[in-house]
C-alpha cells in the first residue's frame, strides 16, 4: 500500500514540475499543444537538426528558426470553445 502512495505522490510531483506530463484533466488540445511546442523547441535548440530541416525545405536557417518559433504560439490551432463559455454566452442573450 505504501508503494502505491509513494508512486502516486511521485507522479503528482512530476506533473506539477513538468507541464507536458499531463494530468487526468488535460484536454486533447492541451496535449497536442505541449507535444508540438516540445518538438519545435527541440528542433530550434539543436542546430544540426535545424540545418537539416532548412536544407530539406530549401530555406535559410534563420527563416526556418523564426517560423518554428512563430508556430510555437498556437501549434495546434486556436483553443476549442469551452463549455462554460458557450453556456454562459447562451444565457446572456
Range of the domain at 40: 29-77
Residue 46 domain-assigned (yes or no): yes
What predicted TM-score, i.e. pTM, was given to this entire model?
Answer: 0.70
Distance CA 36, CA 28 (A): 12
Residue 54 domain-assigned (yes or no): yes
Q: How many CB atoms lie within 10 A of CB 62?
A: 10
Give per-residue pLDDT as tens, 24-52: 788 888 889 989 999 999 999 999 999 99
Q: For position 24, what pLDDT does the model report? A: 76
Give per-residue pLDDT as tens, 65-88: 999 999 999 998 888 887 776 666
Q: For position 23, what pLDDT does the model report? A: 75
Q: For position 93, what pLDDT does the model report? A: 46
Written as one string, the DSSP assignment of 38-77 is HHHHHHHH-HHHHHHHHHHHT--HHHHHHHHHHHTSSTT-
Residue 52 domain-assigned (yes or no): yes
- 3-class state of residue 93 by DSSP: coil
Cell numbers at residue 53, please? 530541416
Residue 58 domain-assigned (yes or no): yes
Residue 17 domain-assigned (yes or no): no
Higher pLDDT, 73 or 11: 73
CA angle, residues 63, 65, 71, in degrees to nearest 5: 100
User: How many domains does one find in the chain?
Assistant: 1
Residue 59 domain-assigned (yes or no): yes
Residue 23 domain-assigned (yes or no): no
Residue 22 domain-assigned (yes or no): no
Amino acid at each position: 500500500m505504501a508503494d502505491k502512495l509513494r508512486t502516486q505522490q511521485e507522479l503528482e510531483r512530476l506533473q506539477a514540475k513538468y507541464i507536458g506530463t499531463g494530468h487526468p484533466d488535460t484536454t486533447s488540445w492541451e496535449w497536442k499543444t505541449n507535444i508540438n511546442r516540445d518538438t519545435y523547441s527541440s528542433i530550434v535548440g539543436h542546430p544540426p537538426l535545424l540545418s537539416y530541416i532548412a536544407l530539406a525545405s530549401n530555406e535559410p536557417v534563420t527563416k526556418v528558426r523564426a517560423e518554428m518559433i512563430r508556430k510555437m504560439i498556437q501549434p495546434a490551432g486556436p483553443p476549442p470553445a469551452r463549455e462554460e463559455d458557450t453556456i454562459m454566452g447562451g444565457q446572456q442573450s
